[in-house]
Amino acid sequence: MSSQLTKAQSDRLKNLAACTSISVAVILCLLKIFGAFVTDSLAVLSSMVDSLSDIFASLITLIAVRYSAKPASATHRYGYGKAEALSSLTQAAFIAGSGLFVIYDGFNRFVSPRQIADTGIGLIIMVISILATLALITFQRHVAKITKSQAILADSAHYVVDLLTNGSIILSLIVVQFFDFLWFDTLTAVLIAAYLLFNAYDLAKQAIAQLLDKELDENIRSEVIKCAKSFDFIQGIHDFRSRDLGGTYLFEFHLELDGNLSLYQAHHYCNMVEEKILSKYPDAQIIVHQDPAGIKEERLDNKITHNKKKGK
């Protein structure tokens, strides 16, 4: 979360981005339904199918964003942020299904080619789609950057695909119009579908990584360790774990302090460390365990190193 935004401001921005996405997807889908009906182009049809998936995905995103904004409860003390990862996983499945549908239809058209009509209307619709999609992506990327929303970022990925596919469809329609290569329309659609499948895989991979509590980026981890070690009274840090709760980071670690400190003083020192970390990551949740420096104990770091050496 950016230090310039409160959680309420971030939630409002994510809601606005999700609602804008739905509106744009509906308008473009209606345009492409008309274009597919008039031109009978598989490439335009594949883009229309993709827009239908965008509507579904954006609705899922809106639901996830609103659900993830709920405050922590007695049954979900870490909050509901991972609803966004579930949203991304659902979107990935739907995108993959759309891609397989287009590939299936594409192979059928290779066997039985169909004439494409009125490519001019198709070109106009695709140009409008590109301009609207470019504006939406710019807004979504801005919101995703400052809110750290995986759901909005995943939703934006759909429209990046749209931007590329709409450009390829324009090329396809031009080739068909001037050279009458009907197979080029089908080839374009199949390539678009293949890219959809790749995109679905990437979204699913990121969502699963968050759901399985993959460690945060090394730059973030290094920054937290740097904050802790910036104080002279900290003699070491170990067993550092981190995870993404859905736009909110959780940091858990052991701080090594002078064993002669009073509990009150040790607590005060830990608060100082937490405050410095929170200045970098304002909404982070931080769990600190205080250890006397030099104590011999079984550590997670040692277990991980041992398992790594054994190839586990």
Q: Which residue has the tokens 């949203």?
A: 87
What is the pLDDT, as a whole number, of residue 1? 40
Per the CB < 8 A criterion, the answer to whether 154 and 68 are in contact is no
Q: Which residue has the tokens 């401001």?
A: 9
What is the pLDDT, as a whole number, of residue 2? 41
Q: How far apart are CA 279 and CA 73, in angstroms?
A: 25
Per the CB < 8 A criterion, the answer to whether 24 and 166 are in contact is no
Candidates 114, 121, 99, 104; CA nearest to 183 is 114
pLDDT tens per residue across all 312 residues of the chain: 444 566 677 778 888 888 888 888 888 888 888 877 777 766 677 667 767 777 777 787 778 777 877 877 888 878 887 887 888 888 788 778 777 876 776 666 666 655 555 567 777 887 888 888 889 888 888 888 888 776 777 777 767 767 767 777 777 677 767 776 666 767 777 777 787 788 788 888 888 988 888 899 899 999 999 999 999 999 999 999 999 887 788 999 999 999 999 999 999 999 999 999 999 888 789 999 999 988 888 888 788 776 777 766
What is the pLDDT, as a whole number, of residue 116? 55
> Which segments within the chain are labelled E, that is strand?
236-244, 249-257, 285-292
Domain boundaries, given as residue ranges, for the chain: 7-211, 218-309
Candidates 85, 133, 131, 106; CA nearest to 41 is 106
What is the pLDDT, as a whole number, of residue 185? 65
What is the pLDDT, as a whole number, of residue 235? 93
Given CATH 3.90.950.10, say whether it is the number of domain 7-211. Answer: no
| Superfamily classification of domain 218-309 | Cation efflux protein, cytoplasmic domain (3.30.70.1350)
Q: Judge if 7-211 and 218-309 fold alike in CATH terms.
A: no
